Structure 1
Amino acid sequence: MTETQQTINNVIAKMIAYSDGNKHDIAHFLKVYTYARMIGEMENLTERKQEILEIAAVIHDIACPVCRVKYGNTNGSNQEKESPELVENFLKDVEIDDEMKERINYLVSHHHTYTNVDGLDYRILLEADFLVNADESEMSENAVETARERVFETNTGKKLLTSIYKLPAR
């Protein structure tokens, strides 16, 4: 196993523990992680960007437990507001450089913001999270079609969305 994969596995184990037995949260981040990893690899991210993406995908919903208690919901804007400090604390003992930690924090703190997307890692995180959220929230076919037009830019993400949700080919 590579050092990078060991780091990611450690982050996954840490996030499972952080989730405190919430099986829905654990299953959600594992699904988002799997899609993000696959899309990133198929879109040929650099090794460094891939590691950033995978760690961000694992911890993208780190603020959900806090938001449930503090706000009574997991609204995206509340998650983004609460994420920075949580991500910083979570990553303190993870053996990655500060620049990588900053980018991961940025991605997690913006993963419900669909404007000014500044990188393929960010785009892929949005796509992977949408793939899972559309299913979990039983989104209408029309909403999924709209997302295909407005959110999805990677070829891999578009193919997955079309296949999973049986959309007409474009």
Structure 2
Amino acid sequence: MGNYFGQDAKRIGHACKVLQYAEEILAKGSGDEEVVAAAAILHDIGIHEAERKYNSNAGEYQEIEGPPIANRILKKLDFPREKIDEVLEIIAHHHRPGIVKTQNFEIIFKADCRVNREEKRRKKHD
């Protein structure tokens, strides 16, 4: 993640916080630890490409650009193919609940929403 995001501390921090909350949710329920961790870390991996291509970081563009980047990263790490497929599906829909109906998706969606709410609250007070 650091290699891809470089010095973008905001995006790295966001992904780390999503991972933290996802792990907390996972500890209370069920889900695949590897899928959840990979999806949490990589869910916004398409944001820089979206900004470059579309001049926007809108979720719809992140969902288009993120899966191919995540696929390359996970393949390099020899992540199991079936788990890669699930991670990519989560990334491709992580702003749109109800399309992917898995426990792993729900964990990522809830964790990301929580972090987004906190970031909005913090921004409001700055």
TM over 0.5, yes or no? yes
Match of 1:21?
A: 7
Any stretches of 5+ residues in structure 1 without a counterpart?
Answer: 1-14, 140-170
The normalised TM-score by structure 2 is 0.90
Whether the 8 Å CA contact 2:46–2:69 is kept in 1: the answer is yes
- Per-residue displacement from partner, 1:59-95 (whole Å, max 9, x unpaired)? 1100011112222221111111112211111112112
Counting only pairs closer than 5 Å after superposition, residues 1-170 of structure 1 correspond to structure 2 as: 15-45=1-31, 49-138=32-121
- Per-residue displacement from partner, 1:10-51 (whole Å, max 9, x unpaired)? xxxxx1121111000110000000000110111133xxx121
Bigger RCO of structures 1 and 2 (CA < 8 A, at least 6 apart): 2
Is the partner of 2:93 in helix, strand or coil? coil
Bigger helix fraction: 2
The normalised TM-score by structure 1 is 0.68
Q: Distance in 1 between matches of 2:79 and 2:71?
A: 12
Over 4 Å off, 4+ runs: none
Whether the 8 Å CA contact 1:39–1:124 is kept in 2: the answer is yes
Whether the 8 Å CA contact 2:93–2:99 is kept in 1: the answer is no
Any stretches of 5+ residues in structure 2 without a counterpart?
Answer: none
Q: CA RMSD in A?
A: 1.4
Give the CA deviation at 1:121: 0.5
Whether the 8 Å CA contact 1:41–1:50 is kept in 2: the answer is no
Percent identical among aligned pairs is 29
Whether the 8 Å CA contact 1:62–1:86 is kept in 2: the answer is yes
Number of paired residues? 122
